[in-house]
Structure formats: structure tokens, C-alpha cells
């Protein structure tokens, strides 16, 4: 399913502050500080996106539910927190750039 069809079918973009921080770092190193700030501001202001804070309880659940359970995988903490949030919210698909989400049992949107 494409991102456009996903939204048209009632899907929603949900992410965490960890995802924003990781994305900001990528843009910062590739495009510079001005572009990184601009992209970050645009994402935070876009009503199509819902951004969640990351409480320690969510981090602990991500460690227990994903990092400890999948010890043979190289899941990042950011991804594990995303997996746990998706599990809690009963979300089945993710817009992601790697196959770790597939390994964790989620569909990738392209």
C-alpha cells in the first residue's frame, strides 16, 4: 500500500520524539543545520502527523518486549520504542526505511 492510499483509507502517521531526533540527525549531517531545523518544524506543524513523547515506561516496555525478546536482531532503541507504541496502538503498518519492521511483524508502507 502506498502512503497516499494509507491516508485515504483512514490511516494516520504516528511517531515518537526519538524518531524526530533520529531523522533530525540524518538531515543535519546530509543537508546542514538550516535544512534540519526547517524539516523538523514542518513535521511538528503538519496536522497529518501525531508525535508522542517517550516516557521511561515505554522505553522499559520496548526493552522487555523487543530488545530482550529479539536478542539476535540489531534493533535500535528508536525502532524498539516504535514497535512497542505500534503494538499498544494496534497499528500494523509502518513507513520505514529498513526491514526491521518486517522482522518485528509489521507491514512496510512504500
Dump pLDDT digits (tens) for 24-39. Answer: 999 999 999 999 999 9
pLDDT band at 48 (very low <50, low <70, confident <90, very high): confident
DSSP codes joined into one string, 51-73: EE---HHHHHHHIIIIITTTTTS
pLDDT of residue 1: 53
- 50 by Cβ neighbours in 10 Å (0-12 / 13-18 / 19+) ranks as exposed
Residue 19 has pLDDT above 80, yes or no: yes
Dump pLDDT digits (tens) for 58-104. Answer: 999 999 999 999 999 999 999 999 999 999 999 998 988 889 999 99
Work out how many domains the chain is built from and give that number: 1
> Which CATH number fits the domain that encloses residue 69?
3.40.50.1010
* Domain limits for position 101: 3-108
pTM as predicted:
0.86
pLDDT band at 22 (very low <50, low <70, confident <90, very high): very high
Amino acid at each position: 500500500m502506498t502512503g497516499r492510499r494509507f491516508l485515504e483509507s483512514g490511516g494516520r502517521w504516528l511517531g515518537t520524539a526519538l524518531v524526530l531526533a533520529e531523522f533530525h540527525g540524518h538531515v543535519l549531517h546530509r543537508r546542514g543545520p538550516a535544512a534540519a531545523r526547517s524539516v523538523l518544524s514542518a513535521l511538528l506543524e503538519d496536522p497529518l502527523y501525531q508525535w508522542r513523547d517517550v516516557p521511561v515506561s515505554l522505553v522499559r516496555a520496548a526493552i522487555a518486549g523487543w530488545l530482550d525478546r529479539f536478542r539476535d536482531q540489531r534493533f535500535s532503541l528508536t525502532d524498539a520504542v516504535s514497535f512497542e507504541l505500534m503494538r499498544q496502538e494496534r497499528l500494523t503498518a509502518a513507513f520505514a526505511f529498513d526491514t526491521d519492521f518486517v522482522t518485528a511483524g509489521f507491514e512496510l508502507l512504500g
